[in-house]
Amino acid sequence: MCNNECVNLSKYSSGSDPINQIMHDSCGIGSVVDIKGRKTHSTVDDALKIVEKLEHRAGKDASGKTGDGVGILLQISHNFFSKAAKEAGIELPPEREYAVAMIFFPQDKVKRARHKKLLEILLEKEGIPFLGWRKVPINSEILGEKALGCMPSIWQCFVKIPMNTKTGIDFDRKLYVLRREFEQSINSETYVCSFSSRTIVYKGMFLVGQLRRFYLDLEDKDYESAIGMVHSRFSTNTDPSWQRAHPNRIILHNGEINTIRGNIDRMLAREETMSSELLSGTDFEKVLPVVDNTGSDSAMLDNTLEFLMFSGCPLPKALMLTIPEPWNKNEDMPRLKRDMYHYYATMMEP
């Protein structure tokens, strides 16, 4: 729960102005990728070293002890989680046949129990087998006063792939629908950082050097990944919070989207006419609205790309639609590519 030192996201209701016109941010980003897909702990370590060098692109409070937010996106490490889950009394199936949700719950035990139970009920309703909960091991002693004052209770939820569901994006599509239904059934005190069979996000209101020291998982040599995407937040006029740290589940973006007000309005307006063959009528309704307007501009771009991808649009194409090249007067661009941009410009603004 937040005290008055931290932003209360509940004031940004779906009917209010999602982003004040004077709000801007200026964050730092970095990534490490093994192009051969080899998972190692050194990739995790290298990504953490990058974010630890981004202090000049990371905000902090006047005391210098609470940061605006730092986070990392990694692949789910089966080598690590099979061990960690077993210690929590959970037996995991083979790699890619389970998923992990990283969730910020309220510190209040009654509210936390209610929200955890709600998620379990929704999982049962959607036919996704629930495996168990793991309390994420942390070192809260390193936190500044403000970050500690609104620190959530951090848990991981393990689920198994449903019968007759393919691993990969098909499984993650079911998790996306489930997550959106859960998010819209609770208030802002509970937040899902990530829910995927492939990736996971560790984040919080940290200084750049506190991320690996806070989450003990990240220092475990068994945690291996082929990718590491890091983000350090610099909130100029945007309130920092645990939720707004590392606002990316798919992409890596550092904000400053000047058209965000119009983008939000246009997306909301077109929702009445949108459809997808991969999302049934009821599932499609569960994921709306597409954009969570309590997030930052980068988070809203991530929401949009996530929606397009799970609706059947390949991610590279979704990126081309949302962040198009200057094409209108580019005579050097192949005609077929220009025609594609021209066609989709009638459906999706930059």
The pLDDT of residue 67 is 87
The pLDDT of residue 343 is 95
Q: How confident is the model at residue 40 (pLDDT cuts 50, 70, 90)?
A: very high
- How far, in Å, CA of 108 to CA of 95, rounded? 34
Domain locations along the chain: 19-313
Q: Record the pTM.
A: 0.89
Structurally, what CATH architecture does the domain formed by 19-313 represent? 4-Layer Sandwich (3.60)
pLDDT at 20 over 60: no
pLDDT at 93 over 50: yes
pLDDT at 277 over 60: yes
- How far, in Å, CA of 32 to CA of 134, rounded? 28
Q: Which residues carry out catalysis?
A: 27
pLDDT at 2 over 50: no
DSSP 75-103: E--HHHHHHHHHHTT----STTSEEEEEE
Tens-digit pLDDT profile for residues 172-209: 999 999 999 999 999 889 999 999 999 999 999 999 99
- How far, in Å, CA of 4 to CA of 227, rounded? 37
- How far, in Å, CA of 311 to CA of 275, rounded? 8
Q: How confident is the model at residue 11 (pLDDT cuts 50, 70, 90)?
A: very low
Mean pLDDT is lowest, of 10-19, 42-51, 145-154, 159-168, for 10-19
| Sheet containing 70-75, strands listed edge to edge, beginning at the edge strand earlier in sequence | 28-33, 227-232, 70-75, 199-204
CA distances from 175 to 161, 170, 189 (A): 10, 9, 20
Q: What is the mean pLDDT of the chain?
A: 90
Tens-digit pLDDT profile for residues 235-276: 765 688 999 998 889 988 877 787 888 888 888 889 888 999
